[in-house]
Structure 1
Amino acid sequence: MKIAIVGAGAMGSRFGYMLHKAGNDVVLVDGWPQHVENINQQGLIVDDNGVETVAKIPAMFPEDCHEVPELIILFTKSMGLKKMLQDIQPMLGQNTKVLCLLNGLGHSETLKEYVPAENILMGVTLWTAGLQGPGHVVLSGDGNIEIQNVDPKSQAAAKEVCDVLTQAGLKAQYSENVIFSIWRKACVNGTLNSSCAILDCNIKEFGELSEAGSLIRKIIQEFAAISKTDGVILDVEEVAQGIEAIYDPDQAGAHYPSMHQDLVQNHRLTEIDYINGYVARKGQELGIATPYNQLLTTLVHAKEELLIK
């Protein structure tokens, strides 16, 4: 399948590498000049659980993309989604399917401004990855993907994409209720991403804190109060136990979440407004108290102010 990975940072590079390795025609699309240059000059360097390899995958800037792929997988940052969709308009063919795997909440409405509903696939993934530097991705741990079509008529297309991803080892499955899973994943990001960025720690180190259990449950309770207004019922204890399971280094314990990578490691703006900030904003609109998410959002923005000059 001809596939464009749009937003080829850590996760995009992981997916691009695995899909390329499985024989798909892959192009990596990203706006980071050094990243694109390194990939084109030396290939994508991949540290796959301690084994290093080089994958020769073409990379380009969004404004240079003119070929129409069969599938676009979106991994751009939430705050850059609208501009990215504007930049890649030439790639959005009549039959091009667009799979959104962004962190955070509220992306489907933005997608519908640029992509017909029958071409939109929403998904959620628990794979992780990190960037050692431009053009150098580090893979660790295990994961999976859930995918569902927005338009009921596009179920066959969603299942075909699941098959392509699974053949690449990405363990994709068709979901009957991906919105539930997106909210559940948002709880993972809302507890671990913001906390690890503020505390400058990895997932295992966060899980070892004496207050970790209480803190994540308070945050999840607020997510559950907002998700209920969207028709999604979250079991706070079940979600919390799922998060605690990934503290294990054999799961994702050694991983520094993407918000830590962005803010602490690379001094870049974060997606906080689409995770904890989304819950805080909806809480204000609906008259639902979300003090933990409001505080986390404020602290992350304060740390952005300190670190990003």
Structure 2
Amino acid sequence: MLARMTSHLLPPQRVAIVGAGAIGCRMAACLERSGHDVTLFDGWAEHVSTIRQQGLELVERGLSSSHKVRAFHTAEAIEAVDASSFEWVLLASRGDDTPRFLPLVQALLAPQGVVVSCQNGIHEFAIAQALGVQRTMGCSMIFGAKLTAPGQVTAIEGEDTMRVGQMVPDGSARTDKLARLLNKCGSVTTTDNLVGYRWTKLTLNCMGNPLLLLSGLTGAELHAQAPVRNFMIAVAGEVQRAALADGARPEPVLGHSSHEWTAPDAQHNPALHEALRHHGELLGQRRLSMVADFEARGRTEVRDFNGLVVRKSMEHGLHAPLNAWIQQQVTALEAGERSVLARGLAPLHALI
């Protein structure tokens, strides 16, 4: 269930952002601009050094602004700052880096501090196991950004929305406080069904993110193709079935329920096709996080997207062959065993 949109700002807060990638840096610039005290932590030495010496540069709509944020290499973090002093620790690292960064996150948190997963995938369970469910929150977002140089992040125009919530809603004002903290980063809405919304976002990531990488197309180009939409609907059905089997209550995906995405005739539902086509129009030129990860590092989060669906499906006696195929193709691309599909995905129709 989604609550009202929040519009009031918080007094200055002390915020640590672990993972100074594109999303972490854009969030840092937005928070600093709102008057908050922001410190970045990252493992890219040149990036950290540039931010220290020149500030963090944010480029939006062709205009550049400089933001004074502290930055530390993760290797020196504990010695360089006052530990256990941050009210908020936003974890914006890649999902597969979560175990490595949890000791740092724990050291940075103030006694009443909270860690917020600002990551793709569903990592709140691992965080809660290490730090406690009451100190674990999540922020699922559509938020475009790209690191264009050390110390420089460019905002990608398009929809900027965030859904924030707690692992176990307890009636406190903490979720609303987080929404007010992030107010200037985009349109923020609270939810009392964080896990269900995470599965909703995972559905979008599984059916779109890897296909953007494999095809070389933009969001608008990809979603304009009817055969690709057919494939996406079938992929979404696998994700939704895994979510339901795992006990989650997925929020509607692009306005449509789990029942619609998992129906036997889902691929013939014109409303689903129209929702995907419209979603592509909103994405426009965006190519999302998996493309950026691959271009920057040669690896992706496919194991935390489609791979998670495959693992959860197996746990519950289900099959997810399309998500398994996607994981296989992206893994082959990471290993240099294949290339992108020459701006198209014609072979997909044979898989469904």
**Normalising by the residue count of structure 1, what TM-score does the alignment of the two structures yield?**
0.91
Aligned: 1:175 with 2:191: yes
> 1:241 offset after TM fit, Å?
5.0
The 5 A counterparts of 1:1-309 are 1-63=13-75, 64-65=77-78, 66-67=81-82, 68-105=85-122, 107-139=123-155, 140-153=157-170, 155-166=172-183, 168-229=184-245, 230-233=247-250, 234=258, 235-236=260-261, 241-248=274-281, 251-263=282-294, 265-306=295-336
- Structure-2 change in CA distance of 1:178 and 1:113 (3 Å): closer
Work out the CA distance in 2 between the residues paired with 1:286 and 1:59.
Answer: 44
After TM superposition, the structure 1 stretch with the greater mean CA deviation from structure 2, 293-302 or 228-237, is 228-237
Instruction: Show structure 1 runs of 5+ residues with no match.
Output: none
* Offset, 1:76: 0.7
- Measured in 2, the distance between the counterparts of 1:77 and 1:5 equals 13
Contact 1:92–1:115 (CA under 8 A) maintained in structure 2: no
Deviation at 1:104, TM superposition (A): 0.8
Q: Which runs of 5+ in 2 are unaligned?
A: 1-12, 251-257, 262-268, 339-352
Q: What amino acid does structure 2 have at the position aligned with 1:159?
A: D
The number of aligned residues is 303
On the 8 A contact 2:223/2:276 being kept in 1, the answer is no
| RMSD of aligned Cα (Å) | 2.0
- How far did residue 198 of structure 1 move? 1.3
Identical residues among aligned pairs (%): 23
Structure 1 stretch displaced more, 56-65 or 22-31: 56-65
1:25 shift after superposition: 0.5
Q: Contact 1:188–1:243 at 8 Å: present in 2 too?
A: no
2:319 maps to a residue whose letter is: A
Cα deviation, residue 242, structure 1: 4.5
Give me the TM-score of the superposition, normalised by structure 2.
0.81
Measure how far apart 1:178 and its partner are: 2.0
Q: What's the CA shift for 1:210?
A: 4.2
Question: 1:73 aligns to what SS in structure 2?
Answer: strand
Task: Give the residue type in structure 2 aligned to 1:34.
Answer: E
Residues 22 and 182 of structure 1, relative CA distance in 2, 3 Å threshold? same
Residues 192/133 of structure 1: CA separation in 2 closer, same or farther (3 Å cut)? farther
